[in-house]
């Protein structure tokens, strides 16, 4: 019996260690999310125990979902050809939809009804992030230029990174907004706007950076480190951590809430899956892990568009 118990402790500790990427040593567990019967699934945002995102059904139509930790609810804007769910804050969900005339609009769903979001005079409006009653995204003007926006439930404010050719705001947390911009050389960079000034976000060695979400001081997104190869990242304001679920060939981190990160990854067969990543306390020792798993019987945990 002692031999069996000792063996189980080692096996469980080794299993947990195998879930932690060597690059950062900070990620512990990944949970895959696949909408039942879907061709592909993306997890784009998390708020408390709720995760939202889009999925592609067997007819290759894009639809939204909300997962409450045990079951899925489909979210479809009424009459839309396709629905993309982007973000969640409490009971409010935002996203985008394509109407019968192939025009794109943002929307807000409050748990019972849908409201259309349309930047005045814009050719297309895309809602990507929400915090409380404030929504951020981007719109396309009549010259087909792309600008970020902030909507405070009463009026729109345009957000343009200084000197950028294009700007998109992707998420908001308190008074901080993150997004991406394209410079005059057609390179894409991330940014953080604190309400008065902009800070560029670029992981070392990245060729393209796209922040997708912010929670407190933590920013997540993805970057290209080689042609057509992407990695998720977490930036805590000073250091970058790469996020790559085991077995993934491409990774996109889309959402963060406290110590949990959601996103999507592509497997070796080309399938796309959503994921939820959770953290493990540091510093971590083998003895501490064994005690955490077997001594007190709990799991130790740690953190970590597709667009229409």
124-169 confidence digits (pLDDT tens)? 999 999 999 999 999 999 999 999 999 998 899 999 999 999 999 9
Per the structure block, which two tokens stand in for 135? 């929504």
Helix (H/G/I), strand (E/B), else coil: 116: strand
Per the structure block, which two tokens stand in for 134? 């404030």
Q: Are the C-beta atoms of 85 and 127 separated by less than 8 Å?
A: no
Task: Read off the pLDDT band of 208 (50, 70, 90).
Answer: confident
In Å, what is the CA distance from 177 to each residue of 47, 174, 192? 17, 8, 6
Q: Which domains are seen in the chain, by residue range?
A: 2-295 (2.120.10.30)
Task: Read off the pLDDT band of 280 (50, 70, 90).
Answer: low
DSSP per residue, 183-215: -TTS-EEEEEE-SS-EEEE--TT-SEEEEEEEE
Residue 298 has pLDDT above 70, yes or no: no
**What local confidence, expressed as pLDDT, does residue 236 receive?**
87
Determine the Cα–Cα distance for residues 41 and 274; give it in Å rounded to an integer.
5
Determine the Cα–Cα distance for residues 212 and 129; give it in Å rounded to an integer.
9
Q: Are the C-beta atoms of 277 and 270 separated by less than 8 Å?
A: no
Q: Are the C-beta atoms of 150 and 177 separated by less than 8 Å?
A: yes
Determine the Cα–Cα distance for residues 139 and 106; give it in Å rounded to an integer.
9
Q: By mean pLDDT, which of 184-188, 226-230, 245-249, 303-307 is the weakest?
A: 303-307
Q: What is the mean pLDDT of residues 4-25?
A: 33
Residue 46 has pLDDT above 80, yes or no: yes
Q: Could you tell me what percent of the chain has a pLDDT over 90?
A: 67
Q: By mean pLDDT, which of 41-45, 51-55, 223-227, 254-258 is the weakest?
A: 223-227
Task: Read off the pLDDT band of 18 (50, 70, 90).
Answer: very low
pTM: 0.79
What mean pLDDT value characterizes the chain? 83
Q: Which letter, b or e, does each residue of 47-59 get, where b requires 16 or more Cβ atoms within 10 Å of its Cβ?
A: beebbbbbbbeee
Which among 70, 85, 79 is positioned nearest to 33, based on CA atoms?
A: 70
Report the side by side order of strands in the sheet with 229-235. 208-215, 218-226, 229-235, 240-243
Residue 2 has pLDDT above 90, yes or no: no
Task: Read off the pLDDT band of 281 (50, 70, 90).
Answer: low
């Amino acid at each position: 019996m002692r031999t069996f118990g000792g063996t189980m402790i080692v096996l469980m500790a080794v299993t947990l260690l195998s879930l932690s990427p060597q690059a950062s040593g900070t990620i512990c567990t990944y949970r895959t999310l696949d909408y039942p019967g879907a061709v592909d699934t993306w997890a784009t945002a998390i708020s408390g125990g709720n995760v939202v995102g889009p999925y592609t059904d067997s007819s290759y139509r894009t639809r939204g979902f909300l997962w409450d930790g045990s079951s899925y609810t489909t979210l479809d804007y009424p009459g839309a050809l396709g629905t993309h769910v982007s973000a969640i804050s409490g009971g409010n969900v935002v996203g985008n939809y394509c109407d019968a005339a192939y025009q794109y609009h943002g929307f807000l769903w409050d748990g019972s009804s849908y409201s259309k979001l349309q930047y005045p005079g814009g050719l297309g409006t895309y809602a990507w992030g929400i915090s409380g009653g404030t929504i951020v995204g981007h719109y396309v003007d009549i010259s087909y230029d792309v600008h970020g926006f902030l909507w405070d439930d009463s009026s729109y404010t345009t957000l343009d990174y200084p000197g950028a050719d294009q700007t998109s705001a992707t998420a908001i947390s308190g008074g901080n907004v993150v997004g991406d911009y394209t410079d005059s050389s057609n390179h894409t960079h991330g940014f953080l706007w604190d309400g008065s000034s902009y800070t560029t976000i670029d992981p070392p060695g990245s060729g393209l950076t796209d922040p997708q979400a912010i929670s407190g001081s933590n920013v997540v997104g993805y970057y290209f480190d080689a042609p057509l190869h992407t990695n998720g990242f977490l930036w805590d304001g000073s250091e970058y951590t790469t996020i790559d679920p085991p077995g993934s060939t491409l990774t996109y981190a889309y959402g963060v809430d406290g110590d949990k990160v959601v996103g999507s990854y592509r497997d070796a067969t080309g399938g796309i899956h959503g994921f939820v990543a959770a953290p493990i306390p540091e510093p971590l020792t083998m003895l501490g892990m064994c005690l955490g798993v077997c001594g007190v019987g709990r799991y130790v945990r740690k953190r970590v568009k597709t667009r229409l």
